[in-house]
Amino acid sequence: MRDGRQRVVRPHRYALMLELGRPLTDSEFAIHEVCDNPICVRATTSIAGRPHVVAGTQSQNLAGMSAKGRGGGRGQSWHWYGPDRAARAARSKALRAALRNGWDADAVESALLRTDTPTLF
């Protein structure tokens, strides 16, 4: 920053800047488009599948939040069938704990697949 203070950059925004090879502008947001996992930093296209964190606008970010039933006000739960805020936080904490001692693919898979939400299979 110009006044000499350091600026804190969130990890998903930093990962997107690395992928794009440039800083994001003030009007660009790092949006969790696929997984909606707060600690996800998968912004690259070199891994199989599509990136989870992409660049977007504030209106796209707010529309996604509304569709997923997050944010203030009355949610539209019929738009989003995924986990609620408490379940997403628990999944993030489990993933963080699984990676505490380094990368372990089995621990990561277990942390991401563990759920209290009933499924069909």
pLDDT at 86: 76
Q: Which residues of 90-100 are buried (b: 16+ CB within 10 A; e: fewer)?
A: bbeebbeebee
Provide the residue ranges of all domains of the chain, joining segments of one domain with +.
Answer: 1-82, 83-121
* Token pair listed for 115: 């759920």
SS3 readout for 48-92: CCCCCEEEECHHHHHHHHHHCCCCCCCCCHHHCCCCCHHHHHHHH
pLDDT at 1: 47
Cα 38 → chain centroid: 4
* Token pair listed for 121: 């299979």
Walking along the chain (121 residues) 10 residues at a time, the average pLDDT comes out as 68 88 92 79 76 90 80 54 70 81 80 62 44
pLDDT at 64: 84
Q: What is the pTM of this model?
A: 0.57
